[in-house]
A and B are shown apart, each in its own frame.
Chain A
Amino acid sequence: MITLEEYVKNWRIFIDTCSLLNEAASQFWYSITPLLQRYNAKIIVPYRCIEVINTKSLQNKNIELRNRAVGVLKIIQVLIQANIIDIRGEKNDKFANNLFLDVFTKYRMKYRLLLITQDINLARTILSLNDDQSRRKFPVQVNRIQHDGSLVEFKWGKSDKNEPYKNQDTDEPKFKLCTRVTRSQDTQLSVQHIPEEGEEVYVNGQLVKLVKAVGFGGEGTIYSTNSEYVAKIYKKKNNTKRKLEKLKLMANIKCECPGVCYPVAPVQNLNHEFVGFLMPEAKGKKIGEVIFTPEIGKVFPNWTRKHLVQLSITILKKIQMLHKKNIILGDINPANILVVSSKEVYFVDTDSYQIEDYPCPVGQEIFVAPEIQGKYFPDFLRTIGNENFAMATLLFMLVHRGQSPYSKKGEGSYVDKIKEMDFAYPLGERTNNKIPDGPWKKLWSHLPQNVKEAFYNTFRYGGCYSTESSRLSVEQWLDVFNNYFFLLNSGKLRQQDPMCEDLFLDK
């Protein structure tokens, strides 16, 4: 495998439109920029690609694509100024695909060439140049950007060269998507004995010892064990039939997402009665305690908004992994996410996740979408649209260090405010006197325009992302936040707005 550094040092690198538009492109630029600067190298972008992105940024059919294109154009501006990319070619060039083929055919005698694209057909075409293995020519390479921003070679199965490349992400086992709640009743199972500290339990037929109680919650107690995992032992009333069935289902489909404390196996007492489950141990402190209170200034004294944006991305990526498995978290809230650093978080209380037809039985009202306000959680299945509201609320709170999107001056409960969707924060010239006193108005005003637009259109009645079906998905939010992070990290935003990183605009 060729490292990124080797590519930068010894290869000519080209990038295609679809990779520029890829959701992880910001992360790719973030990792390759220092190398390009070190070796004084540039990535070549055909003029034609810029033109295509420009067209996409002006159309109105697909708002999401338009916003992404606008963001990408901004990044391209920064990259040009930083001497990191080189735009080659002219207006009346052929389609980029033909252009790449021409260029690669011609110059592979002279240079080692790498194309970055997400397009499998283009990859196949370019790689077929390698069939001509004359000595005078270098082999060409084609890579794509992965979801974490790193590059990977296109690969086909060895047995059949024509086997199309499969995205690994989609190959993983997934849960079914359901629309009706299970008929399985939430009845309490009979349990003669709830195991305690120092006692033994069964996990998949093996004895495991509950070493020490390390946490106490409303539903039960967490114990360290003599295995690599911790055990959550429920109180008697929480050992229900539904819970057991759901945990068995969860344990059957693994979720190896680091930081998600996902059930590994059900736990039984010595009478072989269900009493809880085993899971990886969490670290850190609740977001609700150290990020959403003024405590943030003490616990993370050096944090700026960049850290909050990075923390948001870290959280979004975990949600993305779960959504890819068709898991709906349901009860997204600041007590269920623990933070160690902006790059290290832990998701806890995963046994409440909505899995197939087993609902998430709990929720905090401020994260509950207007269309399902007041509904009884154990009786229905949440949709991805419902979930996207909770996720957007969390993101708003993350970049406003705890202020919630619908808090505003005047009468009415928070639930009423959610239902009214009278979002107080303005876009453009609109003024509104309902924003809470304090630093919140300023914190909002220092967000980049496209971030404001995303929130505004989500929370404002009539906004283009304001309904169950139109709310931004985790991928779309990742786009928005990756762009935001890139602008902060490159120093570009600071040039325009020296206060863009301040968290305490209260002086």
Chain B
Amino acid sequence: MSANDLIRTQDLVNNPVPRIPVCLCLDTSASMMGPPIDELNQGVQLFFNSIREDTVASYMAEIGIVTFGVNVACIADFASLKIQPNAPLLQAAGMTPMGEAINLALDLLEARKKEYKDKGVEYYQPWLVLMTDGVPNGDPLQLARAENRLVDLVNEKKLTIFPIGIGSAADMATLEALSPRRKPLKLQGLKFKDFFVWLSQSVSQTSQSRPGDIVPLNSNGITSWCEI
């Protein structure tokens, strides 16, 4: 085991707080270049910072990030903020292979859940935040597979998905197909920061409960970032 793996494992098993894995699956295609990617970067960093301000949430949340653009990549694997304190910098370029990205995100979530179970760590069912400003243009088979997986997981209550469209070109119909229980929401302008503050508040709210408790989603404040 490498030193890094050892640190990750220690971080996982020495903390008795139930975990909530939050995967940010983010569109970093070329169309995000300029102000959108800058705002998104600031928003993600703000998300990290806001979670850290809440002691229990900071021991509970494990943030992972998958981006899709030039390629599909996991740029941050699930870990606590103690060992992964800062958000990696996102760069915009390339296409919109969304299906591939979702599949990778779900694979990583599955792997993390398996780790929790193997080590006896309590966890909440994961959250997947999906953000895009365009139309998916990767392999259609991959997208179809992603859709099937998402629909099954959501219906079995094993995943909560937050599909967010950015700008007028976002393919809201595809986002809707990916999310059987929750309508996709459209970001007001580039209010990424408002969204991520809201998201961290939702994590904090969850930290007031324990796995299994039904956590009402934080409907307050949703209008601060959501276009109606």
Contacts and interface: CB of A to CB of B under 8 A. Distances in A.
A426 to B, nearest CB: 15
A407 B212 contact: no
A438 B14 contact: yes
A437 B13 contact: yes
Given A293-B56, A408-B120, A437-B120, A402 B212 contact: no
Contacts of A411: 117
Contact of A402 (B17, B117, B119, B211): B17
Nearest to B59: A293
A199 interface: no
Interface string B170-213: 00000000000000000000000000000000000000111111
Nearest to B56: A289
Contact of B212 (A218, A415, A436): A415
A365 B13 contact: no
B16 interface: yes
A365 B213 contact: yes
Interface string B117-143: 111111000000000000000000000
B200 to A, nearest CB: 16
A403 interface: yes
B13 A436 contact: yes
Nearest to A436: B120
B166 to A, nearest CB: 32
B149 to A, nearest CB: 19
Contacts of B208: 218, 335
Interface string B87-116: 000000000000000000000000000000
Contact of B55 (A295, A400, A404, A424): A295
B148 interface: no
Contacts of A6: none
Contacts of B10: 506
B118 to A, nearest CB: 6
Q: Is the interface of A mostly helix, strand, loop or mixed?
A: loop
B59 A436 contact: no
Nearest to A507: B10
A409 B119 CA distance: 6
Interface string B48-84: 0000000110010000000000000000000000000
Contacts of B15: 293-294
B55 A364 contact: no
- Select the residue from A294, A413, A435, A439 with max chain B CB neighbours within 10 A: A294
Contacts of B121: 407, 436
Given A289-B56, A294-B15, A365 B120 contact: no
Contacts of A295: 55, 59
Interface string B1-43: 0000000011011111100000000000000000000000000
Nearest to A424: B120
Contacts of A365: 210-213
Nearest to A409: B120
Given A364-B209, A413-B212, A437 B119 contact: yes
B59 A294 contact: yes
A438 B122 CA distance: 13
Nearest to B209: A364
Contacts of A364: 209-210, 213
B212 A409 contact: no
A47 interface: no
A289 B56 CA distance: 6
Nearest to B214: A365
26 contacts: A288-B56, A293-B15, A294-B15, A295-B59, A364-B213, A365-B210, A365-B211, A366-B211, A366-B212, A400-B16, A402-B16, A403-B16, A407-B120, A408-B120, A409-B118, A409-B120, A411-B117, A414-B122, A424-B120, A436-B13, A437-B120, A438-B14, A438-B16, A438-B119, A506-B10, A506-B14
Interface of B: 9-10, 12-17, 55-56, 59, 117-122, 208-213
Given A410-B120, A411-B117, 17 more contacts: A218-B208, A288-B56, A294-B14, A294-B15, A335-B208, A364-B213, A365-B210, A365-B211, A366-B210, A409-B117, A413-B212, A414-B210, A415-B212, A435-B120, A438-B13, A438-B119, A504-B14
